[in-house]
Structure 1
Amino acid sequence: MKLKHQQTSFGRHETFPLRVGWLPKSLMALRQDADVFNQHEQAMRTLGVGRNMVKAIQYWLRVCNLVEFDTKQNAAPACITALGDALLGERADPYLEDDATLWIIHWLIASNAEMATGFFWFFNRFAAPRFKDADALLAMKDFAATELHLTTRAETTLKSDISTLLRLYAAVPGRTDEHLDALLAPLGLVEADPDGGYRSPRTSRPFMPQLALDFALAQRFAAEPDLQALPVRSILYAEGAWAAPGAVFRLNEEGLMTQLERLIATRPDQYALRDTAGLHQLFWRDRERRPEPLAVLRDYYRRYFL
């Protein structure tokens, strides 16, 4: 599936990274009053944020597909999605206490090529293990121009995506807003380099929770009903508009294979690795039933939170 410029967007986060507490607090507010986002003044009071932050919160809720908003003039109440309930519901992780939940949130952002194109690009296409802000900006501009044909895209918009991403993923010593902005820093996917700039290498990541890859693969297989197998290479490296779990989770080949073997060991009736015509592939074994991403989440939180 090719990435098309009509289905991409940059800089819609109002320059605010997804902050600590925004998702849990928003879903709790929506459970009490589904109309809370229909009036900005009401949302500002309830969430304790400014007008632009309300827009940013709505954006992040949509990127993660946790809430559906009616954008019409006489808007209907917002609706928490089944994914929102499965991930941050009262029977899941409503207070964002488990690091595994952060890995899922990361996947939801970095795999959303349409609504978070800059984040999708960084984790799926930008391969530099060490870089500076200017390097990333130059590479993103080239991507926007050559692949998306967005030659008129404002540099300030692309720059805001780079800045927002780095604030979300990298804890920088001495930055006063670090405790608010760097929600996904605990994942260690992007780190400040002591010699200047940033690091984002592919590693084996032995402490990455199995849930992350389990959910990502379930979403990938569920998205194409006729898909029976994925080449391991396409799990490791992104193609077109499909996100690659190996790239999004910054796994090297050894790390990905270890994670896949662990997944197969726990789900031998569902997944299998096979060599077919010289191609190493991950097969979905159950032809009668497709993967259910929400069931993966519910099974995890039922075991760990109840």
Structure 2
Amino acid sequence: MAVKKVKFKLQGHEKFALREGWVNKALIIIPDAPEVFLRKDATDMFGIGSNMVKSLRYWMRAFGLTIEKRSAGVELTERGKLIAKYDPYLEDPFTLWIMHSYISKNKEEATTWFMYFNHCDADELKKSEIEAILLREVKKYVAGQNFSEKSLSNDVDVLLNMYSKNKEKSDPEDKGISPFSQLALIKNIDGKYIKNHPNKKSLSEMIVLYELILMSKDSEGVSIEKAVYGENGLANIYNLTSVMANDYFDRLDAAGYIHVNRTAGLDMIYFMQKKQELNILEDYYKNR
């Protein structure tokens, strides 16, 4: 029986990490010029080189901010429209966390990001060790389909550069630094990449509520086990410990968003007033 092909993508970014100011330009330009990425003057409109334009087109899609409309170009998703309206300059860490949430689960368009955050469990690794783990995981996922190991290596380079700051090379005036380094999820110390726990001041409890809504789909609740340790769970995507995650659950319970039931070994989270995930985003932006 033929193995069903899965969708995957490596190195859609032309070897460029997302840079400061790129998303802002795209959020402003795309609503009035959805065909911008197809235009000959796209480099002038964005103020970047042609390969960077291709990279930006990929990043907007990988972060769930645009959808492709074939010959008509691209348009902003509902998520993209909300960010364009409330935080187009990505000044609020909340927005970066929402974008991180999307790409780290985007198995089809950002396969390496998905594999790194969901299947690279060790907290302290050299780049070569990360590559070896991800090579194994991608091979398992694509089930015999061909892919370039060099592209995977380039993905790992971009991912690590995007999320981490190397003190020896970091320059505060360098516009090439990715805004995602602000999240401080990965630290580079002496050639080893260490997964960090997020800063509580940076990671709003509304991000955790957003994740719980996504996990629960059509059900009335979600188990604490799944919420913390499941695929795309809080431990994988945000590097939260069980203690940290339960602290967020308790804060959301106290605020009336959820009810946490730990009696009789149930360990379940139920929603007091279940909203759509995009409503969570808009509520946050309106009330911050």
TM-score of the pair, normalised by structure 1: 0.85
Q: 1:211 aligns with which of 199, 206, 210?
A: 206
2:178 matches 1:182: yes
Q: Give % identity.
A: 27
Whether the 8 Å CA contact 1:206–1:255 is kept in 2: the answer is: no
Matches within 5 A, 1:114-263: 114-150=108-144, 152-175=146-169, 179-193=175-189, 195-201=190-196, 203=197, 205-207=199-201, 208-221=203-216, 224-225=217-218, 227-239=219-231, 243-263=232-252
- Shift of the alpha carbon at 1:198? 1.3
Mapped partners of 1:150, 1:234: distance in 2: 30
Whether the 8 Å CA contact 1:205–1:255 is kept in 2: the answer is: no
Give the secondary-structure state (helix, strand or coil) at the position aligned to 2:15.
coil
Q: 1:280 aligns with which of 267, 273, 286?
A: 267
Whether the 8 Å CA contact 1:171–1:182 is kept in 2: the answer is: no
Matches within 5 A, 1:29-178: 29-39=29-39, 41-71=40-70, 75-89=71-85, 92-150=86-144, 152-175=146-169
- Shift of the alpha carbon at 1:142? 0.9
Whether the 8 Å CA contact 2:112–2:152 is kept in 1: the answer is: yes
In structure 1, list runs of 5 or more residues that go unmatched. Answer: none
Give the secondary-structure state (helix, strand or coil) at the position aligned to 1:180.
coil
Mapped partners of 2:191, 2:266: distance in 1: 41
Whether the 8 Å CA contact 1:219–1:291 is kept in 2: the answer is: no
Q: How many residue pairs are counted as aligned between the two chains?
A: 282
Q: Which has the higher contact order (CA 8 A, sep 6+)?
A: 1
Whether the 8 Å CA contact 1:217–1:245 is kept in 2: the answer is: no
Mapped partners of 2:179, 2:80: distance in 1: 18
2:4 matches 1:10: no
1:4-32 deviation digits (Å, cap 9, x = unpaired): 86132222121111111111111111133
Q: Which amino acid aligns with 2:152?
A: L
Could you say what the CA RMSD is over the residues aligned between the two structures, in angstroms?
2.1
TM-score of the pair, normalised by structure 2: 0.90
